[in-house]
Amino acid sequence: MCHNNGMGSRPRGLPLMRVRKTATLKKSRRSSQPNYNSINMVKFTGTASKLQFNPRPNRSTRRKWAKLKTLPAIRGLAPRKEAPITKTLKNLFQDYFKNFNAPPDFQRPRSWDADNEYNFFVSLLENTVEGTIVLVDILEALEAVKNIVGNTTKGVKDMDRLYATISLLEEKLKEGYDYIVLDGNNRLCFYIDLFNNEYSIPDGTYYYVPHNGFDFRTFIVSRKANKFKDLPPDVQKALWHRLQTVSVYTQVDWDRMCEIFLNVNDGVDVERQEKRNAFGWSDWAGFIRTLRSENLNLLKMIHKDPIKAYTGDQTIAQCIDFVRQAIEETETIQKFENEIDADEDGKGIPYQAKVKVGASNQGTLDSLYCTVLEDEDKDYFQAQFLNLSHYVSTLCDEALNEKEKEHYKSKAFIMNLFFMMCNGLDTYQEVSIAANLHRERVKDTSQTFAADKKTFYNACSGTSKPCLEYRYIVLTEIISKVHDQLGYSEELEETFSV
């Protein structure tokens, strides 16, 4: 027996076959379920408001996605910087601390937790802090970029990046900043909190090296006197005179700022998504940050802090990669690499469809950021994520118990629902039915997949090729069952043969 999406069997790849749904009853499908009318539509603002509800990518769009056009490399303004200087923290505080900004385009958000701050404070006391803070002098860099723009023969794309740099630098000047920080944001923020008496020093006994001293001394911090101003004068003097090296760029454009961030963090424990966020040449970086900010409530269901290490951005990128790259439409029927109810040798019931399934991983996410993002794709995904946030929130509100609610808030369910919304589910009525079927399917262990006998629950925990093959099989079956329950007929617009 061979499961397939060919003639003579129910098509499991419904969305990829351009299924046209029509109701078999005389009533319209929306009017037949009046209880859902109030939540069939999400109100959009801006560009997304012009879209039809749940727009479906057409065949040409899917083929365009499959080609994954890669952005050309652009070399812009050559960077120039001053010789690194070493200053005491007191001088650094006076010169830089109140006038810097860390734009999210090429800098991680503040990410230190209490342990990181404590460990850095101890290193500061013991005079073992190393590393260079990297800044951009906004005024000098702006003058340099404007001078280049007025005397350049570079191509149009280079000019676009230079104009973007001018806009960014002018914006930061208007906000009152003198410097952009490219590396050392956590350290600078900690210095400010410490010397402004905002950092609460954990109580206990500490060792420190005095200014111009050669041995360790101790002091005690109590809960009632735990600010910098409460420290012994000798400790305050030691901290004020600690040295910090600073490197200042005076000529640099947008892409070079991103490149500098990536270079200084090469080999450092930086999350892959944080590096993708600094792909200044990619429109995806800014777009996915926008999607994250528009869907924070959804992402907070999955992550405690969606902004820290850009975990929320990565979840959004994974959802898009799942529907855009991992499932690729093909002209001919493809046999899946793994089989249903397979034995230890991998032999079971073959499955085939007009799709090619691949893995979704850090490498494919990097590739996503290096492809062209067109306006129609931005509108489409913006609308889908707004719908997704609305639907998941409504499902949680209507959940019968806490266990059901936790299922709807899981990353696997949210990714799977996003796939189904991009491939056949249009209304909340359909989503609600699919959510119940999904929940039951996760509990079902009667069917397995591949030689390691994955259940659907197991497959939902990964994004390897076997996991996504099985997720595709189950999710398209769920879509088919939803259409059956609502009495839709499925008319294929082309003929398939096995």
> What is the tens place of the pLDDT at every residue in 262-319?
676 655 556 788 778 777 668 898 899 999 999 999 999 999 988 888 899 999 999 9
Q: Are 87 and 141 in the same domain? A: yes
* pLDDT tier for residue 154 given thresholds of 50, 70 and 90: low
Q: Residue for token digits 């010397």?
A: 195
User: Length of the chain in residues, anyone?
Assistant: 498
Range of lowest pLDDT (34-43, 372-381, 423-432): 34-43
Residue 6 belongs to some domain of the structure: no
Q: What is the pLDDT of residue 151?
A: 66
> What is the tens place of the pLDDT at every residue in 118-152?
999 999 999 999 888 888 888 998 988 888 777 65
% residues pLDDT > 70 (the chain): 76
* pLDDT tier for residue 490 given thresholds of 50, 70 and 90: low
- Higher per-residue confidence, 262 vs 2: 262
Residue 279 belongs to some domain of the structure: no
Instruction: Enumerate the β-bridge partners of residue 491.
Output: 20
> Average pLDDT of 230-234?
96
**Domain end call among 216, 246, 270:** 270
Q: Are 101 and 38 in the same domain? A: no
* pLDDT tier for residue 327 given thresholds of 50, 70 and 90: very high
Domain that holds residue 121: 80-270
Q: What is the pLDDT of residue 106?
A: 59
Measured from the Cβ of residue 434, the count of other Cβ atoms closer than 10 Å reads 23
- Higher per-residue confidence, 283 vs 194: 194
Q: Are 18 and 121 in the same domain? A: no
Q: What is the pLDDT of residue 8?
A: 33
Q: Are 47 and 161 in the same domain? A: no
> Average pLDDT of 78-82?
84
**Domain end call among 203, 235, 270:** 270
Nearest to 60 by CA among 18, 5, 92: 18
Residue 136 belongs to some domain of the structure: yes
Q: What is the pLDDT of residue 221?
A: 95
Q: Are 135 and 153 in the same domain? A: yes
Q: Are 362 and 483 in the same domain? A: yes
Range of lowest pLDDT (140-154, 277-291, 384-398, 455-469): 140-154
> What is the tens place of the pLDDT at every residue in 333-369?
999 999 999 999 999 999 999 999 999 999 999 999 9
- Higher per-residue confidence, 147 vs 46: 147
Tokens of 119: 């460990």
Q: What is the pLDDT of residue 205?
A: 95
> Average pLDDT of 142-170?
74
Please determine, for residue 63, whether its predicted confidence score (pLDDT) is greater than 90. no
Instruction: State the number of CA atoms in the 13 A half-sphere of 149 facing the CB.
Output: 19
Q: Are 297 and 241 in the same domain? A: no
- Rounded to whole angstroms, the Cα distance separating 244 from 84 reads 10
Q: Are 303 and 423 in the same domain? A: yes
Residue 2 belongs to some domain of the structure: no
Its pTM stands at 0.65
- Rounded to whole angstroms, the Cα distance separating 379 from 382 reads 5
- As for how many domains the chain has, the answer is 2
Residue 87 belongs to some domain of the structure: yes
Averaging pLDDT over each range in 16-30, 249-263, 298-312, which range is the top one?
298-312
Virtual torsion, Cα 184, 186, 187, 191, nearest 10 deg: 140
Q: Are 255 and 370 in the same domain? A: no
Q: Are 385 and 487 in the same domain? A: yes
Residue 497 belongs to some domain of the structure: no
The three-state DSSP-derived secondary structure of the chain is: CCECCCCCCCCCCHHHHCCEEEECCCCCCCCCCHHHHHHCCCCCCHHHHHCCCCCCCCHHHHHHHHHCCECCCCCCCCCEECCCEEEEHHHHHHHHHCCEECCHHHCCCCCCCHHHHHHHHHHHHCCCCCCEEEEEEHHHHHHHHHHHHHCCCCCHHHHHHHHHHHHHHHHHHHCCCCEEEEECHHHHHHHHHHHCCCCCCCCEEEEECCCCCCCCEEEEEECCECCHHHCCHHHHHHHHCCEEEEEEEEECCHHHHHHHHHHHCCCCCCCHHHHHHCCCCCHHHHHHHHHHHHCHHHHHCCCCCCCHHHHHHHHHHHHHHHHHHHEEEEEEEEECCCCECCCCCCCCECEEEEEEECCCCHHHHHHHHCECCCHHHHHHHHHHHHHHHHHHHHHHHHCCCHHHHHHHCCHHHHHHHHHHHHCCCCCHHHHHHHHHHHHHHHHCCCCCECCCCECHHHHCCCCCHHHHHHHHHHHHHHHHHHHHHCCEEEECCCCCCC
Residue 277 belongs to some domain of the structure: no
Residue 275 belongs to some domain of the structure: no
Q: Residue for token digits 């230190």?
A: 112
Please determine, for residue 214, whether its predicted confidence score (pLDDT) is greater than 80. yes
- Higher per-residue confidence, 402 vs 266: 402
> Average pLDDT of 236-257?
89
Please determine, for residue 38, whether its predicted confidence score (pLDDT) is greater than 70. no
Tokens of 55: 């727009």
**Domain end call among 215, 246, 270:** 270
Q: Are 333 and 201 in the same domain? A: no
Mean per-residue pLDDT over the chain, rounded:
80
Please determine, for residue 188, whether its predicted confidence score (pLDDT) is greater than 70. yes
Q: Are 348 and 238 in the same domain? A: no
